[in-house]
């Protein structure tokens, strides 16, 4: 294999050219292997966690396709990647469940390469566990070097030994590599990476590192390229987009993205309430392309708990912010994340959470049971809430979310829906989303996919609508 090993000049290539070089080398290896086996080589990417991970997976898929692998849904593939999440403990348990099953599949397919990446791999105890108990894993990398997939595959295929490359930090931002998008008409764009907030329950700052923002020119260039490729809706992604600092502020960036021809809708995720500026509210209200939907995680309605969470706002200041937003955009749809059972949460604190849910009236809330993440300050706090108390509170919260969402205020309205797919359950229907991110199902054919269609929202079914094309 020495003849195709990289020469000194190859190593000196700058990114992303260096990775294109490894993509080409891997292409040759894959072609050769396919010829030897007389069949195609397949891959499967399994994604856990948030939108950032989903977008990272599109990049992994782009590289694998370029190399010559063919996508399958089945985990019994020749190249399987788990892109992991570690935000809550059950995310970790899920991965170990998959790996247990995979060991048998790999024993039957000697061609199979098992690769793990993402947030969970940034935890040293996870790596230790994999080294000890999951020795059939072939390639491991973390959150800071996903762009290096081709290089790591090449190293593995030419060296044959397990490759573990997890970096603690990496200041480089390497984009402009191939991507395979789930939808041809909508796409995420990373605008920043990492988080500096250190909410006391959250592991993200430890596994994703400190904030780094991409340059506005690069973001705009990516948006323009996507628009040329037919993308109509983009989602600007970051753990806390409001602290974007690429030389210009986030609202300024948003205004510039609005100028990109062909892009009709712009979303962003996620916003920390402490950093949400008046300027952002103004830009959201005045720019037609910016969707009138805001995901504004509250986490708790109790000022005492918010303080312990290091959220840096109070119940009152959050409610003031919401009022300001609603005043500027009366039709806005608000969604949130809430944690139940943070250490020290009393009945009174929980009542405050129910109260804030009532006062805001979220269209959707993602509710989580507090999960102890080793290494975070909250994990060693006193007064961890017993399971039976949490089990009592959780359904009460769900009930409050359901009873106080005003989602049926949209019933009877005509909304522009971006059609995403044929409905999984009833193939005479198509499904899409409104600007508010509400899901709507209505009679339609596959040719509507990727189109904006006016739909009357006839009937509210909890968190989605049945509609009719008008």
Q: Whole-number minimum distance, CB 396 to ligand 5AD, in Å?
A: 17
The residue within the footprint of ligand 5AD, chosen from 53, 57, 299, 405 (CB under 6 A), is: 299
Q: Which of residues 349-408 bind ligand 5AD (CB under 6 A)?
A: 368, 370-371, 373
Binding site for ligand SF4 (CB under 6 A): 195, 197-199, 202, 204-205, 239-240, 272
Query: Length of the chain, please?
Result: 470
The residue within the footprint of ligand 5AD, chosen from 55, 59, 88, 155 (CB under 6 A), is: 88
47 three-class SS: strand
Long-range contacts, 9-17 (Cβ 8 Å, 24+): 15/147, 15/172, 15/174, 16/147, 16/174, 16/175, 16/176, 16/177
Closer to ligand 5AD by Cβ: residue 175 or 337: 337
324 three-class SS: helix
**In 329-362, alpha helices (H):** 347-360
- Which tokens sit at 408? 């049926």
Closer to ligand SF4 by Cβ: residue 113 or 338: 338
**Chosen from ligand 5AD, ligand SF4, none, partner binding at 55 (C-beta under 5 to 8 Å by type):** none
207: Cβ–Cβ under 8 A, 6 or more apart, which residues? 86, 119, 120, 122, 123, 142, 143
Residue with tokens 């009532």: 358
**Chosen from ligand 5AD, ligand SF4, none, partner binding at 339 (C-beta under 5 to 8 Å by type):** ligand 5AD
| Contact (Cβ atoms closer than 8 angstroms) between residue 460 and residue 408 | yes
Query: Terminal CA-to-CA distance of the chain, rounded, Å?
Result: 63
- Other Cβ atoms less than 10 A from the Cβ of 90: the count is 13
Q: Whole-number minimum distance, CB 285 to ligand SF4, in Å?
A: 24
**Chosen from ligand SF4, ligand 5AD, none, partner binding at 179 (C-beta under 5 to 8 Å by type):** none
Q: Whole-number minimum distance, CB 234 to ligand SF4, in Å?
A: 21
**Chosen from ligand SF4, ligand 5AD, none, partner binding at 198 (C-beta under 5 to 8 Å by type):** ligand SF4
**Chosen from ligand 5AD, ligand SF4, none, partner binding at 370 (C-beta under 5 to 8 Å by type):** ligand 5AD
Closer to ligand SF4 by Cβ: residue 299 or 434: 299
| Contact (Cβ atoms closer than 8 angstroms) between residue 119 and residue 49 | yes
Closer to ligand 5AD by Cβ: residue 6 or 367: 367
Count of residues interacting with ligand 5AD (CB under 6 A): 12
371: Cβ–Cβ under 8 A, 6 or more apart, which residues? 87, 88, 89, 90, 201
Closer to ligand SF4 by Cβ: residue 198 or 366: 198
Q: Whole-number minimum distance, CB 338 to ligand SF4, in Å?
A: 12
Positions that interact with ligand 5AD (CB under 6 A): 87-88, 201-202, 297, 299, 337, 339, 368, 370-371, 373
């Amino acid at each position: 294999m020495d003849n195709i090993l990289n020469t000194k000049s190859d190593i000196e290539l700058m990114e992303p050219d260096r990775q294109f070089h490894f993509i080409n080398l891997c292409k040759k290896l894959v072609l050769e292997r396919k010829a030897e086996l007389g069949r195609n080589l397949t891959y499967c990417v399994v994604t856990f966690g948030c939108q950032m991970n989903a977008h990272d997976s599109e990049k992994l898929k782009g590289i694998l396709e370029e190399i010559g692998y063919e996508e399958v849904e089945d985990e019994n593939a020749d190249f399987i990647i788990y892109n992991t999440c570690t935000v809550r403990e059950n995310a970790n348990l899920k991965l170990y469940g998959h790996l247990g099953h995979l060991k048998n599949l790999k024993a039957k397919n000697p061609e199979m390469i098992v690769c793990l990446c993402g947030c969970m791999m940034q935890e040293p105890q996870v790596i230790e566990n994999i080294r000890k108990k999951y020795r059939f894993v072939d390639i491991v990398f973390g959150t800071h070097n996903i762009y290096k997939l081709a290089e790591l595959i090449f190293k593995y295929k030419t060296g044959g030994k397990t490759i573990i490359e997890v970096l603690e930090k990496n200041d480089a931002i390497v984009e402009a590599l191939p991507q395979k998008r789930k939808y041809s008409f909508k796409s995420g764009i990373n605008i920043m990476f990492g988080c500096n907030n250190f909410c006391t329950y959250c592991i993200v700052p430890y596994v994703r590192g400190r904030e780094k923002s991409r340059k506005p020119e690069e973001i705009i260039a990516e948006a323009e390229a996507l628009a040329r490729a037919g993308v109509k809706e983009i989602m600007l992604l970051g753990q806390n987009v409001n602290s974007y600092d690429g030389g210009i502020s986030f609202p300024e960036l948003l205004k510039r993205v609005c100028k990109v021809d062909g892009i009709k809708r712009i979303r962003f995720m996620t916003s920390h309430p402490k950093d949400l500026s008046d300027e952002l509210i103004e830009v959201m209200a005045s720019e037609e392309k910016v969707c009138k939907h805001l995901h504004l995680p509250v986490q708790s309605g109790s000022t005492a708990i918010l303080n312990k969470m290091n959220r840096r706002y109070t119940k009152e200041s959050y409610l003031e912010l919401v009022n300001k937003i609603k005043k500027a955009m009366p039709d806005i749809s608000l969604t949130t994340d809430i944690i139940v059972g943070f250490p020290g949460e009393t009945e009174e604190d929980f009542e405050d959470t129910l109260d804030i849910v009532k006062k805001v009236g979220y269209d959707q809330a993602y509710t989580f049971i507090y999960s102890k993440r080793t290494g975070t300050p909250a994990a060693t706090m006193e007064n961890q809430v017993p399971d039976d108390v949490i089990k009592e509170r959780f359904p009460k919260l769900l009930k409050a979310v359901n009873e106080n969402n005003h989602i049926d205020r949209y019933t009877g309205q005509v909304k522009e829906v971006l059609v995403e797919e044929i409905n999984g359950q009833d193939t005479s229907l198509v499904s899409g989303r409104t600007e508010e991110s509400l899901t709507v199902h209505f009679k339609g054919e596959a040719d509507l996919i990727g189109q904006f269609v006016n739909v009357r929202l006839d009937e509210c079914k909890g968190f989605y609508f049945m509609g009719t094309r008008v």
